[in-house]
Amino acid sequence: MGGTVKRVSLIMEAQTELQDSVSFYRDQAGDQLAEAFKSEVKVALQTLSEDPERSPHLRDIPELQRLLLSRFPFGLIYTNLPDEVVVIAVAHGNRFSRYWADRL
């Protein structure tokens, strides 16, 4: 960790994925699980802010990295720019298609 805290932003599509996932958990399992998901994403975003290089780069798209959530089957796909970290996808683990690759 370099000691510098970076700003983290989510592009519109990633914001929509996050909102849709929270709604899914709320609809399927109630507020408690939805809040747990939101909390875990919040911790992950804080981790990206403090230590964006902790996650591996994607082999086929080296400018992107993926931080996996521990409790939920999701990963934050992001790029670490000089002044900020930009999350381009809140991707469910079962979606291996790289559907988000054109968001760069």
Q: Averaged over 14-35, what is the pLDDT?
A: 97
Q: Could you give the CA distance from residue 12 to residue 75 in angstroms, rounded to a whole number?
A: 16
The pLDDT of residue 44 is 98
Q: Averaged over 23-31, what is the pLDDT?
A: 96
Q: Could you give the CA distance from residue 53 to residue 80 in angstroms, rounded to a whole number?
A: 8
Residue 35 falls inside a structural domain: yes
Domain count across the chain: 1
* Model confidence band, residue 51 (pLDDT cutoffs 50, 70, 90): very high
The answer to whether the CB of 72 falls within 8 A of the CB of 64 is no
2, pLDDT greater than 80: no
CA distances from 47 to 19, 41, 44, 51 (A): 20, 10, 5, 6
Strand ranges (E), 1-104 = 7-10, 65-68, 74-80, 84-92
Residue 103 falls inside a structural domain: no
Site of tokens 């054109």: 102
pTM of full prediction above 0.85: yes
Residue 100 falls inside a structural domain: no
Q: Averaged over 14-22, what is the pLDDT?
A: 97
Domain that holds residue 58: 7-95
